[in-house]
Chain A
Amino acid sequence: MLEKMIFGRYVPGDSFVHKLDPRSKLLFVFLFIIAVFMANNTITYALLLGFTLLVIFISRIRLYFLLNGLKPILFLIIFTFLMHFIFTKEGPVLVDLKFLKIHEEGVRQGIFISIRFLVLVLMTTILTLTTSPISITDGMETLLNPLKRIKVPVHELALMMSISLRFIPTLMDETDKILKAQLARGSDLTSGTIKERIRAVVPLLVPLFVSAFKRAEDLAIAMEVRGYRGGEGRTRYRQLNWQGRDTLVIIIFLVLVTALVWLRGGS
């Protein structure tokens, strides 16, 4: 189940999208999310959907892989579609069943909102699929750098994030080990009432937390003896490299927004 879920996973590759600087990708996705809300008629929604499909094509992610991975979210999209379908009561009636009247506006709204939702999910998924977590962290740190002026601990937040990412596999292994150790001692996690199962998780969590604290302490000492004194006076080993293609991405975005403004219906 968890293996199938691709939301937030990274798949290495060397497409145009993979090679982009994380800053341009982050900036693009952030602005795109805002721009999506400008669409308000058939042609603008079609434009957004078409553009997203184009990005998927360029990133060389297989459509089947993407949609299969997003199944749990597709359910949500269908659900919102149906809600609009049933509850919007505007415009001429299309179908009149005795217990349910389907209006034209309902169908329209349902389709629009679903596309909006789908486009947002697809775009953010493409971002995480084509950018390694550590690049995303680096990109965020640089983009948020101006916030240091108002005393936001940007460097510390980025470091926290990269350390957590680094320790996820370590703690997963540890959980697995503790789970096996507890199973070997006769702990039963798979049967019994929900209350019993929750109780059975406690002997799993306690050793995990104890060891995580121990690790944190060791790590802090290791960082200190290697000269870590916070962000001041630190140089960076990972260099971000803004290239022509990154500027191109921003230009593409501006073109897209211009098209959206031009094509959207008057309010």
Chain B
Amino acid sequence: MKEILSLDHVSYTYESEEGEPRKAVDEVSFTVWEGEWIAIVGHNGSGKSTLAKLMIGLLFPENGKLNVFLEELNVDNLWDIRSRIGIVFQNPDNQFVGSTVQDDVAFALENNGVPYDQMVPRVHESLAQVNMEGFLDHEPHHLSGGQKQRVAIAGALAMRPKLLILDEATSMLDPQGRDEVIKVVDELKRTTGLTVISITHDLEEVLLADKVIVMNDGKMMMSGKPEAIFAHGDELEAIGLDLPFASRLSRFLREEGIAIQGEHTTEEELVNELWTFHCNK
């Protein structure tokens, strides 16, 4: 497996005009391998968005080493590395640069000097990947939030990135828009082997990840598979995170003295446990 990104004891401190400088990221280390889906969770101010800014070179680590595609991120290779990472931010409106869907998808291509005859097929191809090929000439204010976010993903895909970062990309969407976006990313990951880092506080989204990193107060609190993380229900709730519905229900059932086995993160698992419960006794 190829290494995509690695953090080695990375720290970053925000200078503030009044009061103490705040340590947003504190000695964080982890490695992301090709084809993985990593979810970074944490409540507001836990340093998870600062991590995204460090990865894309909007901020540089104060201490520690950050390697992207096996190169240490610095001012010289910044633009080259950015062209190989796609990032989608929170607000669907504020990252839509073009005046129509196709202009917006082409924006990164234009910036990187891709010739016109290559741009057109790439724009169509990336829009097809997010199921938006019918919207070429639509203007942003006629699109829903979920559609805008899918266009933003297409804009990132047009550069054929190795890594896609979703920085709370679904947090401003309605449930339907959120499902659309998650479905598209999930399918992309399966069909193209794209590496995905999703920064989120939506724990349902976390279930799709291969690995979860829980951030609290700038520190990495725990990391592991989603099921292993949700086993620490109390600790997650203590730092202000919600559990998925099925996990919560299964905990309540156990508290009521019903001896169901194991952790249940999806409704299906819980249903299967419950309908076989009587036979298993």
Of B16-24, B69-77, B94-102, the segment with at least 4 beta carbons within 8 Å of chain A is B94-102
Q: Which of B56, B96, B111, B123 is most buried by chain A, counting CB atoms within 10 A of its CB?
A: B111
Residues of B within 8 A of A223 (CB): 97, 107
Verify if B109 is at the interface (C-beta below 8 Å from A).
yes
A236 touches B58 (CB 8 A): no
CA distance A219 to B140 in the complex (A): 14
CA distance A236 to B123 in the complex (A): 13
Tell me the chain B residues, 96-125 only, with Cβ under 8 Å from chain A: 96-100, 102-103, 106-116, 119, 123
Q: What 0/1 pattern do residues 144 to 163 of A give for CB contact below 8 A with B? A: 00000000000000000011
Q: What 0/1 pattern do residues 256 to 274 of B give for CB contact below 8 A with A? A: 0000000000000000000
B111's partner among A163, A166, A226 (CB-CB below 8 A) is A226
B93 touches A215 (CB 8 A): yes
Closest to A239 in B: B116
B110 touches A170 (CB 8 A): no
Verify if B129 is at the interface (C-beta below 8 Å from A).
no
Residues of B within 8 A of A233 (CB): 113
Residues of B within 8 A of A236 (CB): 110, 116
A165 touches B113 (CB 8 A): no
CA distance A219 to B58 in the complex (A): 14
Interface of A, secondary structure class, is helix
Interface residues of B, count at CB 8 A: 38
B119 touches A173 (CB 8 A): no
B155 touches A218 (CB 8 A): no
Verify if B87 is at the interface (C-beta below 8 Å from A).
yes
Residues of B within 8 A of A237 (CB): 102-103, 106, 109-110, 116, 119, 123
Given the contacts A218-B89, A218-B95, A237-B106, A225 and B82 also touching, CB distance less than 8 Å: yes
Verify if B139 is at the interface (C-beta below 8 Å from A).
yes
Verify if A196 is at the interface (C-beta below 8 Å from B).
no
Closest to B53 in A: A221
Closest to A167 in B: B93
Residues of B within 8 A of A234 (CB): 110-111, 113
B108 touches A235 (CB 8 A): no
Closest to A224 in B: B58
Verify if B67 is at the interface (C-beta below 8 Å from A).
no
Residues of A within 8 A of B103 (CB): 134, 237-238
Tell me the chain B residues, 208-227 only, with Cβ under 8 Å from chain A: none
Residues of A within 8 A of B93 (CB): 170, 215
Verify if A192 is at the interface (C-beta below 8 Å from B).
no
Verify if A195 is at the interface (C-beta below 8 Å from B).
no
> Which A residues are within 8 Å of any B CB, using their own CB?
133-134, 162-163, 165-166, 169-170, 173, 214-215, 218-219, 221-229, 233-239
Sort A-B residue pairs by CB-CB distance and give the 9 closest, nearest first: A218-B94, A237-B106, A222-B95, A227-B111, A169-B141, A226-B108, A166-B99, A134-B99, A215-B94
> Which B residues are within 8 Å of any A CB, using their own CB?
56, 58, 79, 82-83, 85, 87, 89, 91, 93-100, 102-103, 106-116, 119, 123, 139-141, 155-156, 159
